[in-house]
Structure 1
Amino acid sequence: MEVEIRPQVGVGPFRLGMSVAQARGTFHASGPFRPVADDTSPGQIVLRHEESGLDVVLGFTRGALSGVELFRFRNEDADVRILFDGLDVFRTPSEDLFEQLALRGHVIEEDDLGFDALPELKVILANQSSHEQPVDEEGDPLYYDYVLVADWI
């Protein structure tokens, strides 16, 4: 499975600005994701890709999709790729991804909390998961494990 991040547009089949009903129709029609909980008038919908453990959170403001959060998969062997500008966000070491995005002309703002923002694209990348993820020799997370694509940051 490949899911493409499209800044200022959405993630995979989910488009910023779509209604709750449209989002529900999209994940029911697209197959690989299932809702974790059901709410008739949600502020958010939490979806999971069972095979990989990838979580997707759809956030709504005034009934319109305003943000999509992706949480890195838990099954390292799963055939899942989350692509941003042709790069696999959750399988490319975060330092390499950071450098590649900078080489492609993206402005990246770092903060002391572990969040890297691409403000002109309204995207945030982080490696602050509470789940066990691969680490480097010093014990630091090897990959980003969180992405937010929003209509504002």
Structure 2
Amino acid sequence: MDFELEPPHGIGPLRLGTTVDEARCALGDLGEVTGSVQTGLWVRRPGGLAFSPGFGRGGRLNSIELYQQHDMLDVARYRDVDVFGMTALEVVERLRGHTRVVEAAEQEGCFVAPDLLLSLWRPGVDPDDEETHYFSAVLLARPGYYDTPAEAAARQAAGLPPGY
């Protein structure tokens, strides 16, 4: 199955900003839901993707993390970019055709598209380890997700909605 990353709205039936119950229902459309809000909800699809929603203040869905599993039949893409099916360097190059992409300061080889609130993670960079040539996880977040307290205050002063 193909899943389109739609920042800042969501992925597939999961919509950022929805309630816990709405998110749980949408997850159920993807497969068997395991876990709890306290321990973390999960859906592991037979097609190879795992979905993990994150909830913020007020119990609203504020992030969705996708994980790549073995034998991927599912495809996750942003526009024309297959984020798990292409090498990390190809993904970054193609994303840069659509938006700004920067390397994350905290981990080599991981990248953030800050204007999309999209981050891409891989387990390091090792030319001899093929697993590190591809992204293993992608996080899509709501506006305000990464705000520091000063940024949150500026968002509020500007009349923008708070992050979830």
Q: Number of aligned pairs?
A: 140
Contact kept? 1:3, 1:81, Cα under 8 Å: yes
* Residue 141 of structure 2, aligned match among 143, 150, 153: 150
* Residue 101 of structure 1, aligned match among 89, 95, 103: 95
* Match runs of 1:58-73 below 5 Å: 58-61=53-56, 62-73=58-69
Unaligned runs of 5+ in 1: 130-134
Instruction: Work out the percentage of aligned pairs sharing the same amino acid.
Output: 26
TM-score w.r.t. length of structure 1: 0.81
Q: Deviations over 1:59-98 (max 9, x none)?
A: 11121000000111222xx421111122111001110111
Against the structure 1 CA distance between its residues 111 and 24, is the aligned structure 2 distance closer, same or farther, given a 3 Å change threshold? closer
* Distance in 1 between residues matched to 2:141 and 2:104, nearest whole Å: 18
Contact kept? 2:127, 2:133, Cα under 8 Å: no
Q: Is it true that 1:128 corresponds to 2:123 in the alignment?
A: yes
Larger CA Rg, structure 1 vs 2: 2
* Match runs of 1:1-150 below 5 Å: 1-28=1-28, 30=29, 32-37=30-35, 39=36, 42=38, 44-49=40-45, 51-61=46-56, 62-75=58-71, 78-104=72-98, 106-112=99-105, 113-114=107-108, 115-128=110-123, 138-139=128-129, 141-150=132-141
Contact kept? 1:4, 1:82, Cα under 8 Å: yes
TM-score w.r.t. length of structure 2: 0.76
1:136 deviates by 7.6
Contact kept? 1:19, 1:63, Cα under 8 Å: yes
CA-based RMSD: 2.1
Against the structure 1 CA distance between its residues 110 and 147, is the aligned structure 2 distance closer, same or farther, given a 3 Å change threshold? same
| Over 3 Å off, 4+ runs | 41-44
Q: Which one has the bigger helix percentage?
A: 2
